[in-house]
Amino acid sequence: MMWLFIILLVIILIIAASCIKIVPQSQAYILERLGVYKATWGSGVHFKVPFLERVAKRVNLKEQVVDFAPQPVITKDNVTMRIDTVVFFQITDPRLFTYGIDNPIMAIENLTATTLRNIIGDMELDATLTSREIINTKMRASLDDATDPWGIKVTRVELKNIIPPAAIQEAMEKQMKAERERREAILKAEGEKKSTILVAEGKKESAILDAEAEKQAAILRAEAEKEKMIKEAEGQAEAILKVQQAKADGIRFIKDAGADQSVLTLKSLEAFAQAADGKATKIIIPSEIQGIAGLASSLVEIATNKKEN
């Protein structure tokens, strides 16, 4: 009897433990009673009635991503290409997600392929290759409206790869190569043009600098010549001043020594002789000096005759 009671107690504890549910963060549990939707459990501790209620589905509320295989699409200009897409979505209503549609991921994949064909069918190849952002925006809006009754919100759609036919790829590669060669030629021409301009500007600046240097050199030469002439003039003036000073000192010395007027006159004659310096052809001598000169000549002749006798 005791063993039966223990077994019964263990069974009751197991059943009670199974009725306690802990819902993790970012998840939701769908609770059913006798096969009918009862409630949606959020994160935390919950209790259910044994045998009558059950957890029908565990729903992940985090943002999820699905990568779909490449889908064949035809552009407006009849070019067949393959495009694979990446869809980001989040479950906003666990009840609608559980009961709204069976296999919602497959439904999103088929809806994505259909929407992509509709959008690409209205665009040409070149527009398709250069309008990814426009295609992404249109697809996200269309998928979000379609999945709203399923409790799903499409947050983002990206075109992962656009794979055109091999012939189109080869033509695009040739076009890109030609475009790169054209840009290279343009850049080379622009570089040569800039180089020519820089060389010309350099020569111009060099000529300007040479002219400026020549101008400065001429100014310096002129200033040097000016300084030289000033120095020479100052030297000549100083020499003349010293000569005149010496003469003045000599005359002053003769005068202080008691020389008479005849001696002074002779000194004047010597000054005239020095002034002529053998270069003058005619010298005008004042009359008073001429008389003294004649007297001096007579005295010289008398002295000479006495020496001869």
What per-residue confidence (pLDDT) applies to 44? 87
Token pair 């009673």: residue: 33
Distance of alpha carbon 27 from alpha carbon 42, whole angstroms: 7
pLDDT, residue 90, reads: 93
Q: List, for residues 158-178, the tens digit of each pLDDT value.
A: 888 888 877 777 777 788 888
Handedness of CA 50, 51, 53, 56 (dihedral sign): positive
Report the pLDDT value the prediction gives residue 303, as an integer from 0 to 100.
44
The pLDDT score that the predictor gives to residue 195 is: 86
**What is the reported pLDDT for 302?**
45
User: Model-level pTM greater than 0.95?
Assistant: no
Q: What is the pLDDT of residue 171?
A: 75
Structure confidence at residue 152 (pLDDT): 92
Task: Name the least confident of 139-153, 157-171, 191-205, 275-289.
Answer: 275-289
pLDDT in tens, 216-258: 888 888 888 888 888 888 878 787 777 777 777 766 766 666 5
- When the pLDDT of each residue in the chain is averaged and rounded to a whole number, the result is 79
In the chain, the amino acid numbered 261 is Q
Whole-number pLDDT of residue 88: 94
How deeply is 30 buried, as exposed, middle or buried, from its count of CB atoms within 10 A (0-12, 13-18, 19+)? buried
Helical residues (DSSP H) of the chain, grouped into ranges: 2-18, 94-99, 104-120, 125-130, 132-147, 166-256, 261-276, 287-308
CA–CA distance, 185 with 283 (Å, rounded to integer): 93
151 pLDDT exceeds 70?
yes
Amino acid at 82: R
What pLDDT score does 205 carry? 86
- State the pLDDT at residue 258: 59
Q: Give the whole-angstrom CA distance, residue 35 versus residue 52.
A: 9
Residue 28 pLDDT class (50, 70, 90 cuts): very high
Residue predicted with more confidence, 295 or 255: 255
Residue 95: the pLDDT is 92
